[in-house]
Amino acid sequence: MIILAGGRATRLGGADKPGLTVGGRTLLDAVLAAGAEAGARQAVIVGPSRPGVGRLPGGPPVRFVREEPPGAGPVPSLRRGLDELGHPADPGDPAAAPWLAVLAADLPFLRAAHLRALLAAAAGHDGAGHQGATREGAVLTDDEGRAQWLAGCWRTEALRHAAGGYSGASLHGLLAPLRPASLRITPGPGEPPPWLDCDNEADLRRARDWHARAGQAAAPPGTTTLRSGSPAANRCTCSATNRAASG
């Protein structure tokens, strides 16, 4: 997986956003834990290195790299992460994983089940045992249907090809042409939404308040609505049985 953690956090007064805490752990640690539990075989973090973050929980070392120049934006950061993964010739190399999670570093309520559901959506599974067409990727959408481009799972080679041929600066411009499946997760009563990020002080307060009300660091995902281009949405439940082969 690639985690983008190099933004300037101007709306948080320049704070070290990935190092902020919700529920006693940093935002970055929450994302790393979700990826590790979902089966990520490696993690590349594009951003400053951090003391105490050296390995995935129970997994391989974490690699820190910087985009050039630092703070250049999400597209250069993604390219830098892809470059760090390299182009392995050995299919057994962890970097040869066919699917790659690309995530923001400020998603305190993202869980492994959400990543597994994204992989299943990209692979054409609707959560009800039906197999459809495999897509180039899948992204979470919020409660208003907006794609969350830094909460997605992508076919690795398709993402490399798209990044190599794109001259723009927006993730939407890079990723939308891949026509990913959209995964909408409706949280159950009292559950925080997995797409909630912490872009500003209000977001951070909301996340901390949500955690305090829940009284726990993690909550299982609720009911999932999978939209994969059809006008008819299929209702399904996030499956915890699909192991995410994300890099």
222: its two tokens: 């609720």
pTM to 2 decimal places: 0.82
Cis-peptide, bond into residue 108, ω within 30° of zero: no
Shortest CA distance to 1 belongs to which of 151, 165, 162?
Answer: 151
Burial 59-78 (b: 16+ CB within 10 A, else e): beebebbbbeeeeeebbbbb
Question: Are residues 121 and 183 in contact, defined by beta-carbon separation less than 8 angstroms?
Answer: yes
Burial status of residue 24 (CB atoms within 10 A of its CB: 0-12, 13-18, 19 or more) = exposed
194: its two tokens: 């997995």
Which contiguous run of DSSP H or E holds residue 22? strand 21-22
d(CA 145, CA 122): 17
- Show me where the domains of the chain are located: 2-237
DSSP class of 61:
B
Which of 20-29, 35-44, 48-57, 97-106 comes out lowest in average pLDDT?
48-57
> In this predicted model, what pLDDT tens digit does every residue of 72-114 receive, in sequence order?
899 999 999 999 987 665 556 655 689 999 999 999 999 999 9
Question: Are residues 136 and 158 in contact, defined by beta-carbon separation less than 8 angstroms?
Answer: yes
Shortest CA distance to 136 belongs to which of 123, 150, 117?
Answer: 123
The answer, yes or no, to whether residue 156 has pLDDT greater than 80, is yes
Most confidently modeled of 132-136, 179-183, 196-200? 179-183
pLDDT above 90 covers a percentage of the chain that reads 47
CATH of domain 2-237: 3.90.550.10
The answer, yes or no, to whether residue 10 has pLDDT greater than 80, is no
Q: What are phi and psi of 45, to 5 degrees?
A: -105, 120
